[in-house]
């Protein structure tokens, strides 16, 4: 993306604040690009999609476990026996 290899001196000299600056600017660039889209296109662009085929994945995201039982978790957290 930045046309710099990890082995290059300029990359090795980067500090944590430099990486943070890059990440923040990437985020701002994405927000600006999204702001230029019409509402239907923006909604489609914000959908979670499969990285392999591009089909919508639905409600679930990579951080969610489809078999996770929130109610059971809450009961166990309160120390209740099932």
pLDDT of residue 21: 93
For residue 28, tell me if it sits in a domain. yes
For residue 2, tell me if it sits in a domain. no
For residue 4, tell me if it sits in a domain. no
For residue 41, tell me if it sits in a domain. yes
Beta bridge partners of residue 49, listed in sequence order? 56
> Which among 15, 22, 16, 20 is positioned nearest to 1, based on CA atoms?
22
Specify the pTM: 0.51
Number of domains into which the chain is organized: 1
How far is 3 from 10, CA to CA, in rounded Å? 11
Which regions in the chain score pLDDT beneath 70? Answer: 1, 59-64, 82
> Do residues 64 and 48 touch, judged by C-beta distance below 8 A?
no
For residue 1, tell me if it sits in a domain. no
Q: Which domain holds residue 61?
A: 9-77
Helix (H, G, I), strand (E, B) or coil at 49: strand
């Amino acid at each position: 993306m930045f046309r710099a290899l990890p082995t290059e001196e300029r990359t090795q000299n980067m500090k944590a604040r430099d990486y943070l600056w890059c990440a923040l600017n990437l985020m701002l660039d994405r927000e600006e690009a999204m702001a230029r889209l019409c509402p239907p296109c923006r909604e489609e662009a914000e959908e979670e999609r499969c990285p392999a085929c591009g089909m919508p994945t639905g409600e679930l995201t990579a951080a969610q476990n489809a078999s996770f039982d929130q109610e059971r978790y809450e009961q166990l957290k309160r120390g209740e026996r099932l």
